[in-house]
Chains A and B, each alone.
Chain A
């Protein structure tokens, strides 16, 4: 069945193209620092050979330090080289070319050393190379999609799956389990997020939080096993999840994210993305819930129940693989939506640090300006358009392959 699905996915030309496009996008995004960098790949200074590009990466990770000849590690264009070999684009996204200040068009004559130093797509208002900005923007866009969908995918799969599989009557919990839940949830919140630990960051806090929740859950299971848990009642998890989804969907995401972005002390794309994920899981949860509702009425699930498989095993091994298709569809569409949302926020100038380059922040320079710097609108716009189109096409491809 899987093979047939794959074949149908491949059949369409548009999907195949989008698949290739995805590979190109990932290649550019992952290798952006290697493709566009102001540091030379290899250079010779006073008969010594240096590899500033790779050295710089090691330095960024604190694995090495700069050689004396290369200090200070700024103004790479001003250094005296015997000879130097640059990577494809000899500019970083933040490199300011003083000869090309104030938005130089790609068609204008430019004062550059060699043809390699030409700004092929022009420069922005502060003289930064647009090609380098676009490449690093692709990296930001990739991270945006990744981070937000990691959060949204986790929440959507978990809550949508639970709601769809158990419905309002399927999840039976005993009084003792309910009490344990009421005890351990506040405790997990307290020890996870309220206690002022002198060391350990957010990761440690999340770890404590999850550990305590799992402890409570395990304790409940043990109580149930030994039979000391009291009578069981149905827990209306479906209604609960639906209600939360309903509430979240009444708030326009853009307005909420704008408000959150503005309250942040240190604006960063990553915070925004986590928030996008925390809001956008509802779409995925709806998809997954609908799919689980359908799957649980299929006979093979009944068969698995009759065979005495544990619930976790049925959900994870039997129901989940069948819900994967719709999940992938909503994931692809969600990535497209997240990239659009992020570029909207950064074009408004919210949530992005000044030194972070995103496709939206390049275009933001045009707001309130009356010159027709067409390249600053065209190229980032095209990048956003193509990327969103790419993920929409992939989502559509999976959906059609599933036969919907």
Chain B
């Protein structure tokens, strides 16, 4: 029974995971910068490569990264758009081309015009240095402006400027006259032959399995989440290094919240309406409105400030702790610095735990069988601990899964403030330096962790409570 349940659960988890991966992939496509150019080092100011070698370097890097393939299995776009746009190097060029295309709808004409602009630049490069330096510079300015300009009026203005430049120099003329002529002609053609209708016509084209998403998915399923853009370390290595801090931290908070929350919840439920219950309730209500980052910050300010004499916390101690530090060293250096983070991640969990335990215990205490047990004359101790408590505890087992996203989210801010080199801090640092593979790796990993948590919780629940029929969980939903 458990196996068939497990199988059915997996049938749900796998599509969910695929969906999340598609979502993450979609996000990665929205990034403003051009990852290929950035990784090939072509964005640097001091890059002195000429146009042709830049293009070549770009294409090489794109081929290595697999970015010279279509993005997805199919595309759904206006019929005017080409399906091979991904082959054109440089994101800015693709952007300019699309902006030009949006005004005309005629892809061959747009591409032909753009090629003449690039040809003019190539011609300028090959042209010999003559006395007509000024003219050459002027034409180069115009060509550069045209390369990234897509506005009709602005292009017109630049081309009129080009017309005005008279190329008298006989050495320069054979190189440039042709190119400028072609440019003017191609522009005229582009203006005269719009195909606006194609922009409003939907087209759906299949692009095959050899695409970027497919590759990425294949690797991710093999456990290869890619490598960091910054230090080329595998993403998974970086995450697991962070987990060495995040996991113990999260599990400690989870354990503490259970150890403290369950007795408090039971006590409150047994003495409902008493002063203890009221005070506990309002304290938790106030604590729930207290942002954990605020508490973290205030604690940090108080306990690192030498003026107050309470500075037993050092903000950098954890970074200096080597991987193979001895236990004694670890206790001595890390523990005092981990106390505050644990405090800050525990109290939000504790609030949830006490509330849940209080309500489930109250429910049990109000139920028929407890009244029967009392009527039979069983001692209060037996009624509460042997009868009610056991039944109230069962649901708590599964509820740890609901806390997992809280733990991960809580770790981000608390680790950042206390400078714990865990996964949350890794996420924040990676966002700062735009190390996207790491960011997306963490996103997928935390979703996976939550799903596994839910699965384990369901199985545990069935194990402790034989009444639960896993076969029927779905039909009642």
A4 within 8 A of partner (CB): no
B416 within 8 A of partner (CB): yes
> Are B454's CB and A250's CB within 8 A?
yes
A265 within 8 A of partner (CB): yes
* Least distance between A213 CB and chain B CB atoms (Å): 16
B236 within 8 A of partner (CB): no
> Are B412's CB and A258's CB within 8 A?
yes
B78 within 8 A of partner (CB): yes
B76 within 8 A of partner (CB): yes
> Are B202's CB and A340's CB within 8 A?
no
> Are B413's CB and A263's CB within 8 A?
no
B103 within 8 A of partner (CB): yes
Residues 246-270 of A at the B interface (beta carbon under 8 Å): 246-247, 249-256, 258-260, 262-263, 265
> Are A243's CB and B12's CB within 8 A?
yes
> Are B78's CB and A196's CB within 8 A?
yes
> Are B427's CB and A258's CB within 8 A?
yes
Contact with A along B1-41 (1 / 0, CB 8 A): 00000000000100010011000000100111000000000
Q: Give Cα A251–Cα B32 distance, bound, in whole angstroms.
A: 23
* Least distance between A255 CB and chain B CB atoms (Å): 6
Which of A53-61, A88-96, A321-329, A377-385 is the contact stretch?
Answer: A377-385
B408 within 8 A of partner (CB): yes
B305 within 8 A of partner (CB): yes
> Are B477's CB and A242's CB within 8 A?
yes
> Are B297's CB and A377's CB within 8 A?
yes
A190 within 8 A of partner (CB): yes
Contact of A263 among B32, B285, B301, B447 (CB under 8 A): B32
Residues 275-315 of B at the A interface (beta carbon under 8 Å): 285-286, 288-291, 293-294, 297-298, 301-302, 304-305, 307-308
Please name all residues of chain B whose beta carbon is closer than 8 Å to the beta carbon of A336 when the two chains form the complex.
Answer: 289
Given contacts A247-B16, A363-B297, A370-B305, contact A344 B202 (CB under 8 A): no
Q: Give Cα A306–Cα B442 distance, bound, in whole angstroms.
A: 54
B450 within 8 A of partner (CB): yes
> Are B413's CB and A347's CB within 8 A?
yes
Please name all residues of chain A whose beta carbon is closer than 8 Å to the beta carbon of B454 when the two chains form the complex.
Answer: 250
Residues 416-436 of B at the A interface (beta carbon under 8 Å): 416-417, 427-428, 431, 434
Please name all residues of chain A whose beta carbon is closer than 8 Å to the beta carbon of B289 when the two chains form the complex.
Answer: 336, 385-386, 388-389, 392
Contact of A385 among B290, B428, B450 (CB under 8 A): B290
Q: Give Cα A252–Cα B402 distance, bound, in whole angstroms.
A: 11
> Are B32's CB and A259's CB within 8 A?
no
* Least distance between A144 CB and chain B CB atoms (Å): 14
> Are A260's CB and B27's CB within 8 A?
yes
Q: Give Cα A259–Cα B446 distance, bound, in whole angstroms.
A: 13
A348 within 8 A of partner (CB): yes
Residues 11-59 of A at the B interface (beta carbon under 8 Å): none
A239 within 8 A of partner (CB): yes
Q: Give Cα A239–Cα B473 distance, bound, in whole angstroms.
A: 13
Number of interface residues of B (CB under 8 A): 54
Please name all residues of chain B whose beta carbon is closer than 8 Å to the beta carbon of A348 when the two chains form the complex.
Answer: 412-413, 416, 428
* Least distance between A67 CB and chain B CB atoms (Å): 35
> Are B413's CB and A392's CB within 8 A?
no
Q: Give Cα A344–Cα B446 distance, bound, in whole angstroms.
A: 19
B331 within 8 A of partner (CB): no
Among A255, A263, A348, max chain B CB count under 10 A is at A255
Closest residue of chain B to A257 (Cβ to Cβ) is B409
Please name all residues of chain B whose beta carbon is closer than 8 Å to the beta carbon of A252 when the two chains form the complex.
Answer: 405, 408-409, 446-447, 450
Closest residue of chain B to A196 (Cβ to Cβ) is B102
* Least distance between A262 CB and chain B CB atoms (Å): 5
Please name all residues of chain A whose beta carbon is closer than 8 Å to the beta carbon of B442 when the two chains form the complex.
Answer: 255
Please name all residues of chain B whose beta carbon is closer than 8 Å to the beta carbon of A367 when the two chains form the complex.
Answer: 297, 416-417
Please name all residues of chain B whose beta carbon is closer than 8 Å to the beta carbon of A396 when the two chains form the complex.
Answer: 285
Please name all residues of chain B whose beta carbon is closer than 8 Å to the beta carbon of A381 when the two chains form the complex.
Answer: 291, 294, 297-298
Please name all residues of chain B whose beta carbon is closer than 8 Å to the beta carbon of A151 when the two chains form the complex.
Answer: none
Please name all residues of chain B whose beta carbon is closer than 8 Å to the beta carbon of A73 when the two chains form the complex.
Answer: none
Q: Give Cα A189–Cα B77 distance, bound, in whole angstroms.
A: 10
Please name all residues of chain A whose beta carbon is closer than 8 Å to the beta carbon of B78 when the two chains form the complex.
Answer: 190, 194-196
* Least distance between B169 CB and chain A CB atoms (Å): 41
Please name all residues of chain A whose beta carbon is closer than 8 Å to the beta carbon of B450 when the two chains form the complex.
Answer: 249-252
> Are A256's CB and B405's CB within 8 A?
no
> Are A372's CB and B301's CB within 8 A?
yes
Q: Give Cα A242–Cα B428 distance, bound, in whole angstroms.
A: 31
Q: Give Cα A343–Cα B428 distance, bound, in whole angstroms.
A: 16
Q: Give Cα A189–Cα B76 distance, bound, in whole angstroms.
A: 10
A350 within 8 A of partner (CB): yes
A84 within 8 A of partner (CB): no
Contact of A389 among B202, B286, B304 (CB under 8 A): B286
Please name all residues of chain A whose beta carbon is closer than 8 Å to the beta carbon of B77 when the two chains form the complex.
Answer: 194
Contact with B along A199-243 (1 / 0, CB 8 A): 000000000000000000000000000000000000000110011
A366 within 8 A of partner (CB): yes
> Are A255's CB and B291's CB within 8 A?
no
Please name all residues of chain B whose beta carbon is closer than 8 Å to the beta carbon of A242 when the two chains form the complex.
Answer: 477
B199 within 8 A of partner (CB): yes
Among B27, B200, B298, B409, max chain A CB count under 10 A is at B409
Q: Give Cα A100–Cα B291 distance, bound, in whole angstroms.
A: 29
Please name all residues of chain A whose beta carbon is closer than 8 Å to the beta carbon of B31 when the two chains form the complex.
Answer: 263
Closest residue of chain A to B292 (Cβ to Cβ) is A344
Q: Give Cα A41–Cα B10 distance, bound, in whole angstroms.
A: 66
A186 within 8 A of partner (CB): yes
Q: Give Cα A274–Cα B414 distance, bound, in whole angstroms.
A: 25
Q: Give Cα A156–Cα B301 distance, bound, in whole angstroms.
A: 40
> Are A247's CB and B199's CB within 8 A?
no
A198 within 8 A of partner (CB): yes
A301 within 8 A of partner (CB): no
Contact of B27 among A263, A366, A377 (CB under 8 A): A263
- Give the interface of B toward A (CB within 8 A): 12, 16, 19-20, 27, 30-32, 76-78, 102-103, 199-200, 202, 204, 285-286, 288-291, 293-294, 297-298, 301-302, 304-305, 307-308, 405, 408-409, 412-413, 416-417, 427-428, 431, 434, 439-440, 442-443, 446-447, 450-451, 454, 477
Q: List 20 A-B contacts (CB under 8 A).
A: A186-B202, A187-B202, A189-B76, A190-B78, A250-B450, A251-B443, A252-B405, A254-B413, A259-B443, A262-B439, A263-B30, A336-B289, A344-B291, A344-B413, A347-B293, A348-B413, A372-B301, A374-B301, A384-B294, A388-B291
Given A250-B405, A374-B301, A381-B291, 4 new contacts (CB under 8 A): A258-B412, A343-B293, A381-B297, A385-B294
- Which 3 pairs from chain A and chain B are nearest by CB? A196-B102, A254-B409, A389-B289
- Give the interface of A toward B (CB within 8 A): 186-187, 189-191, 194-196, 198, 238-239, 242-243, 246-247, 249-256, 258-260, 262-263, 265, 336, 340, 343-344, 347-348, 350, 363, 366-367, 370, 372, 374, 377, 381, 384-386, 388-389, 392-393, 396
